[in-house]
Amino acid sequence: MAKPIKVLIVDDSAVVRKVFSEELSKESDIEVVGTAPDPYVARDKIVALNPDVITLDIEMPRMDGLSFLKKLMRYYPIPVIIVSSLTPKGGKMALEALSTGALEVISKPSGSYSVGEMSIQLIDKIRAVAGVKVNPSMFAGNNNNAQVKNKTKALTETTNKIVAIGASTGGTEALKVVLTEMPPNAPGILVVQHMPAKFTTSFAERLNEISSITVKEAADGDSLVNGTALIAPGNFHMLLKKSGARYYVQIKKGPLVHHQRPSVDVLFHSVAEYAGSNAAGVILTGMGHDGANGLLKMREAGARTIAQDENSCIIFGMPKEAIKLGAAEKVVSLNDIRTTVLNMIVGEQ
């Protein structure tokens, strides 16, 4: 029998420590080996208990979670799941944590985000990141290459080619690699990144600052035009629609798909239906199998399809499932995805 995943909970809230401990202890494959109210206590417990995964609050007294994470990634890299409040400040700090070396982010329980929802996602994420060999050099926050780029207005106002991208664990950094190198007149891009509500706003704003294309959190009815990437808002599905020659997006609620909202499958199925052979689908690093079936539907509809390879993935879950289904026409390294996409669809025009 496999050893349980050892988890250390670091949070200044006694209530959160209690809730997390109780919920996680219900799982036979997870063991809460300790809790800590601040990073100083956490430091000693990490050495003594050797946990497999840490849940880390961002806003704490004595030392904030982000400062602690930076020290941790330098001296003792370990899978970290960030726990953050649903506030603009919390979103920006969580995004910086993901750039520094954290693998996942969840929301603290609130009126709009129940303990039950939190527990399901936290348990799934702990299982996904346990055993990941964290390499801090893979994260943008540990190098200073990200720069604000000048924007040039796209050459055309409409798009006749669509790029649809899906990602989960490790996807925030993978998407930076793909989107920041896109040319100003790149085909319209739709992105689903598994991320809680509110955090996608900060994510889109940061990508917009460092990309030549325009990146924004999608709103219902937004047109998809060249030189623009639309990010699905957290807790909403995003679908592609078409009216005449105009592509636009529908943003809506609906049931969770593969425990996710937004779901990559929901997006990919709509792209298969409305764009067909005018689209390219890309599935990046992430846990689970969301997007695999949708990517297959896209390929069957004539779209070009790509999966990120195992060596460049933080977690080779979603791409692996897509490859197993025969959904991926090509399997390439993260650094080659941008060029491969453009060669596939722009080269056809």
pLDDT in tens, 292-327: 999 999 999 999 999 999 999 999 999 999 999 999
Write down the domain spans for the chain: 5-141, 162-345
Rounded CA separation 13/87 (Å)? 17
Cross-strand bridge partners of residue 163: 189, 280
Superfamily of segment(s) 162-345 = Methylesterase CheB, C-terminal domain (3.40.50.180)
pLDDT in tens, 20-69: 999 999 999 999 999 999 999 999 999 999 999 999 998 887 888 889 99
Report the distance separating Cα 100 and Cα 65, nearest Å. 11
**pLDDT tens, residue by residue, 91-142:** 788 889 999 999 999 887 665 456 666 777 889 899 989 989 887 777 655 5
Q: Model-level pTM?
A: 0.90
Cβ-contact 40, 67 below 8 angstroms? no
Asked if residue 174 lies in contact with residue 167, where contact means CB atoms within 8 angstroms, the answer is yes
Say if residue 39 is preceded by a cis peptide, omega within 30 of 0: no
Tell me the sheet residues that pair with 34: 8
Q: Which of the four CATH numbers 3.40.50.2300, 3.90.1150.10, 1.10.150.120, 1.10.1660.10 does domain 5-141 have?
A: 3.40.50.2300
Catalytic amino acids?
Answer: 168, 194, 290
Q: What is the DSSP letter of 218?
A: -
Instruction: Give residue 123's identity as a one-letter amino acid code.
Output: I
